């Protein structure tokens, strides 16, 4: 049986990925801040989940908690980082920005570093980061969210280069969702919004194929291309 950890499994995409992994013969370590939601998920499929409730903010205890969880799992083949936050912040409240940076940058980096070092030591493994299409350009409504997602995309690319240079079979997968119907989908006029189940199915297939970069749902690849080539004077008016 394969072993996986889903960081941020209490709701939304993380919860959906944990469920689909358990349905496909994985033993899954599930983490998050809200222990009651993790316990509820474990009760849906007893024997397939191991619960470890901890917060990525602060990051100091991340290595200890992940070490402990891997011991309980009996190994690790796959780690998915689905934990993240972001709020609309037109008035640039610093506490809102800091909260996003603490989790999406500091916490994310702590998990990435621990994961890569673990997989390098065992000489194989797969790290998956749920980033965002928003990381391709800046955004006036939630500046720190777009910026931190850009950081995540770049960090995963750096780890992918590092893995390829090492020659080890360590896969780094960057999943960039568009709008998915979760608590993270904020704002008015959202379009092409996907249900969680559909998005998670596409993500799982991409993970199994060890894809490097994935847009979910697939149609968002077109928007990604447009975002990259759109001149600033047009993008700034959107």
pLDDT tens-digit readout, 136-172: 999 888 999 999 999 999 999 999 999 999 999 999 9
Residue 126 has pLDDT above 90, yes or no: yes
Give dist(CA 115, CA 35) in Å, integer.
22
Residue 117 has pLDDT above 60, yes or no: yes
Name the least confident of 70-79, 85-94, 101-110, 223-232: 223-232
Catalytic residue, from 26, 116, 118, 145: name it. 145
Q: What percent of the chain has pLDDT over 90?
A: 74
Contact 84, 104 (CB under 8 A): yes
- Is residue 116 part of the annotated active site? The answer reads no
Residue 153's domain is classified under what CATH number? 3.40.50.720
Contact 103, 79 (CB under 8 A): no
Residue 87 has what pLDDT? 87
Q: What mean pLDDT do residues 126-135 have?
A: 96
- 231, two tokens: 């001149």
Query: Which residue bears the tokens 């199915």?
Result: 201
Domain count, the chain: 1
Residue 185 has what pLDDT? 46
Task: Say how many C-beta atoms besides its own lie within 10 A of residue 43's C-beta.
Answer: 9
Reported as a pLDDT band with limits 50, 70 and 90, residue 235 is low
Strand partners, 188: none
Question: Comparing C-alpha atoms, which of 233, 184, 189, 206 is closest to residue 17?
Answer: 206
Full domain range(s) for residue 40: 2-235
């Amino acid at each position: 049986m394969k072993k996986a950890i889903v960081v941020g499994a209490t709701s939304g995409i993380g919860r959906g990925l944990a469920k689909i992994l358990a349905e496909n013969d994985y033993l899954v370590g599930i983490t998050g801040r809200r222990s009651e939601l993790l316990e509820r998920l474990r009760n849906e499929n007893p024997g397939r989940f191991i619960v470890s409730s901890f917060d990525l903010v602060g990051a100091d205890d991340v290595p200890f908690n992940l070490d402990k969880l891997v011991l309980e799992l009996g190994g690790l083949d796959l780690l998915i980082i689905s934990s993240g936050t972001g709020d609309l912040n037109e008035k640039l409240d610093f506490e809102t920005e800091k909260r996003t940076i603490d989790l999406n940058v500091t916490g994310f980096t702590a998990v990435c570093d621990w994961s890569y070092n673990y997989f390098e030591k065992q000489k194989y493994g797969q790290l998956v980061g749920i980033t965002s299409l928003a990381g391709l350009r800046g955004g006036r409504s939630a500046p720190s969210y777009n910026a931190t997602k850009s950081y995540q995309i770049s960090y995963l690319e750096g780890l992918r280069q590092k893995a390829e240079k090492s020659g080890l079979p360590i896969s780094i997968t960057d999943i960039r969702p568009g709008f998915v119907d979760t608590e993270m989908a904020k704002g008015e006029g959202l379009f092409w919004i996907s249900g969680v189940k559909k998005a998670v199915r596409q993500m799982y297939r991409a993970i199994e194929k060890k894809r490097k970069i994935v847009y979910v749902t697939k149609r968002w690849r077109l928007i990604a291309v447009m975002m990259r080539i759109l001149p600033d004077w047009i993008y700034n008016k959107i």
